[in-house]
Each structure stands twice: as C-alpha cells, then as structure tokens.
Amino acid sequence: MGEAKRRKNLGIPPREKSEDIKLPQLDKKAIQQKVRSTLYKYPIIPFLFYGAAILVLIGGLFYVFKSFNFA
C-alpha cells in the first residue's frame, strides 16, 4: 500500500510537497576572468603546479622502486 492510500485510510491530509532546491547558477565567464587575472598577476603559479606534479611523480617512482627492490 502506498503512502497516499495509507494517509487517506487513516484520515490524514496529504503530505505537503517540499519546495525544490534551487542551485546557484555559475557564471563561467566571471570565473574564467578571475582565474586569468590571477594568472596574469602571479605568472609563477603554473610553474609551481608543474614542479609539484613532477616531484610527486618522482617520489612515486622512488617509492615503487624502493618497495619492490628493483635496484
């Protein structure tokens, strides 16, 4: 038996529908402009990200070689 039928048999009024949650709209152009302005202001950021990624990859390779005793 569904909830609507059960509520009707018990004499309870129908359940009120909840309002749909509205998600905020993202403005892609504004976000893109903020990112570009930040990168123009601090041009070293991409180099830091690339350097960190290379260090993580080298560290991962070192960990694999050390754990499997390839050397």
More confident residue, 57 or 1: 57
- DSSP symbol at 42: -
What the block records as the tokens of 24 is 């905020």
pLDDT for the residue numbered 68: 82
pLDDT for the residue numbered 18: 78
Sign of the Cα pseudo-torsion (38, 39, 44, 45, in order)? positive
Task: Report pLDDT digits (tens) over 1-41.
Answer: 688 888 889 899 888 887 778 888 889 999 999 999 999 99
Residue 8 CB: number of other CB atoms within 10 A?
13
Cα–Cα distance between 31 and 12 in angstroms, integer?
A: 49
